[in-house]
Amino acid sequence: MPVEEDDCWDTALLWTATFGVDPQGGATFAAPVQLTYPNGVRWLPTARQVLDAAGNLTALDAQAVVLQDIAIGSLMWLGSLSDWYGTGSGSGPVNTADDARMVVKTFSKTPSIDGRFYRRVVGLMRYHQ
């Protein structure tokens, strides 16, 4: 496994942004997909400020090294599908104060020296609807 991809041992859920609008005017997302080894993530809690794609200063709460391109605006959560449904989060309203999902605010994709592999990193901010 290339060095760009060898540290992705954490399991996370991904809700890909569908860029639609629900009847209440909120964003819409696809069903959650579990990202686990060998297609896992490396979740890194952090507290930093970066510029987003629009040039706005954004505070990040975490970063994740991922093995696929992820759309800005998608949601991620550290844990497995069984954890998500086991907490009761998967069966009721998810936009509560204790919702630990994160929204993807930044995405970077850096090629390896020989150009065969990529290091992909997403910047994550706590999700508030």
Q: Could you tell me if 63 and 42 are in contact, meaning their C-beta atoms sit under 8 angstroms apart?
A: no
**Count of CA atoms in the C-beta half-sphere (13 A) of 65:** 15
52-99 pLDDT, tens digit per residue, is: 778 889 899 999 999 999 999 999 999 999 888 876 555 544 554 456
Q: Is residue 71 part of a domain?
A: yes
CB-based contacts of 34: which residues, under 8 Å, 6+ apart?
11, 12, 13, 14, 80, 81
Q: Is residue 5 part of a domain?
A: no
Q: Is residue 1 part of a domain?
A: no
Q: Is residue 94 part of a domain?
A: yes
User: Which domain range does residue 39 map to?
Assistant: 12-126
pLDDT of 24 strictly over 60: yes
Q: Report the predicted TM-score, pTM, of the whole model to 2 decimal places.
A: 0.83
pLDDT band per the 50, 70, 90 thresholds, residue 7: confident
